[in-house]
Structures are given as structure tokens and as C-alpha cells.
Amino acid sequence: MGALDFLSSITAQWPFSSSVESTTEPSGCPVDHSSFAKSSSGCPVDHSKFEVTNIFPPHVVTETSTQDDIKFRAAASRQVPGIGEPVDPSIIDSVDLSGRLKEKLLVASPYTDEDHLLDLDTLARPHQLFAKALTIMNAKTGEYAVESYHEAFNWDEVLQAVQKLSKKENYQFPRSEFYIIVFRSRLPFDADRTHLGKLDKDAHLEAVESGQLLKYWFGTPHPETGRNLATCVWRHRDDAKKGGAGPGHVRAMEAVRNIYLEWRVERLKLTVEDDASAWSIGKWVD
């Protein structure tokens, strides 16, 4: 099998990549319009951006948290008032309030360099809200790498955060669907994790630059089994296809074949009902 054949055979297996097909613009809005009346603009859902995002600057998270804090203790939620842990008052006092109210860069992964942050101005209103709520996403058990996906994370708390944020903004959250990729893996104990971390960070940057990656979460290989889980939440499948098209992903895919002992991908659809009243997760079927 030649190199191009090999890459084509595994493109679909990296967390940020879902297809070897050519990338296209999203074919439609991922928000369910069925329960909304048509507006004069032709779209029944308010996709407008917030006039203010009402989040603290990223340094509230980056200067007080480690990568493990973000991964396992939902520390990124400190950036969003009202849904996470209280923020140290001394940090709040040091913030320029006028700047805070116009803040738009959100910590949406364990990578906190500015070019890895999510620009909320690139998102429509329901996706802004959901991205902010996802800062509270966290594993419910230390066995997240082998748990069923819907049991592994605190989705009830994420929806409670959506409800709180929607109420604060006087916004009716519409029924919405999100595309999820789950990457389950097992590493040998002597694997070069520094090298893998560099590959992953490069791939994440490409995904952020493509837009619409709402959340990236990854754990730490289990000390006894080497098993791990990484997952990303996209606005739509087409966004994931676009985000997985760069050279960083090619290098990461090569690592999958050459380093991982086992790897498996799941493609799921997260459905959030009107007003974030309920959620469900099932297989993504095109």
C-alpha cells in the first residue's frame, strides 16, 4: 500500500477528521427550525451575535489553572460567570470592566495559547451559548476512556449551564444538533508522549483556524492500561471535515498507525432540545 493509499485509509480515524471527501461549506443550518415561525430575514432562528459576551478575559483561567485543571476540573468555566467555580476576587478586581464586557476569546480546550482560543464572534448565537456552556464539561469517572460516551461526561450540568446562560440573555435556546468525534486509544508505556502532544497541538490549531470547533477535551493515558479518550464537539459535520484537512492532521494520522497499539473512532450526534430541556446522544448517520 502506498503512502497516499495509507493516508486515505485512515483519514477518518483522527479526532478532528471525519471524511476523505473534499471539504464543502455546511449544507444547512444545524439548528432545528421546526418549532419556530419564519422571520422576515428568512431564517426562523436568531443567529445574531451577542452585543456583549459577558465572559472574563482568558487570563482568569490561564494564570490560575494548569492543563490538568482544565481537563479534569472544568477550570475553563471560571471564564464564564455564573456556571462554574467562583473566581478569585483579586483577579476580578484587576480586570478592566469595559474590556471584560467585550471579551470574545474563550478557553475551549486544554491549550491556552491565544491562537488556540475560540473566537465567539465567529459563531451564531446558539452556538456561542453552547460553547460557553461546554467550558463546564468534565469526565464523571476516572474510567471515562472505557465508559459509554453518554455516561462518561456531565451532560446534565452542561445543559443546566445552557439554561442559566439563556435565561441571563433572555434567549430561547432552539433545538440544535452537534457533531461529536470520539477517539479511543491505547498507548504503549514507552511512547514519546511529548512528540504526540506536539502533533495533537498542531492539529488542534488547524481545527481552530477552520472555525466552529466548540470544544476539545482529552484525558491522560491510564497509568495501568494506557487507555485514553479524546473528543471534540463541532457545530456541524462539514466543519469537522474542513478542520481535518491540513498537514498537521496528516502527521497525526501517521502517528496513529506507527505509535498507538489500539485506536477506535465513534461519530455521534448530540441533540439538545428546545430550551435545553433534554439531551440525547446517538450515532451520526449522514
Set out the domains of the chain in order of their start, with CATH numbers: 47-283 (3.30.70.100)
Cα angle: 207, vertex 12, 3; to 5 degrees: 100
Kind plus residue range of the DSSP H or E element containing 155: helix 155-168
Q: Write down the pLDDT at residue 99.
A: 47
Who wins on pLDDT, 65 or 8?
Answer: 65
Interval 257-286 mean pLDDT: 91
Amino acid at 239: D
In the predicted structure, residue 268 carries a pLDDT above the cut 90: yes
Tell me if the pTM is above 0.85: no
Q: Write down the pLDDT at residue 83.
A: 86
CA nearest to 215, candidates 145, 127, 275: 127
- pLDDT level of residue 271 (50, 70, 90 thresholds): very high
Amino acid at 187: L
Residue with cell 495559547: 113
Q: Write down the pLDDT at residue 25.
A: 39
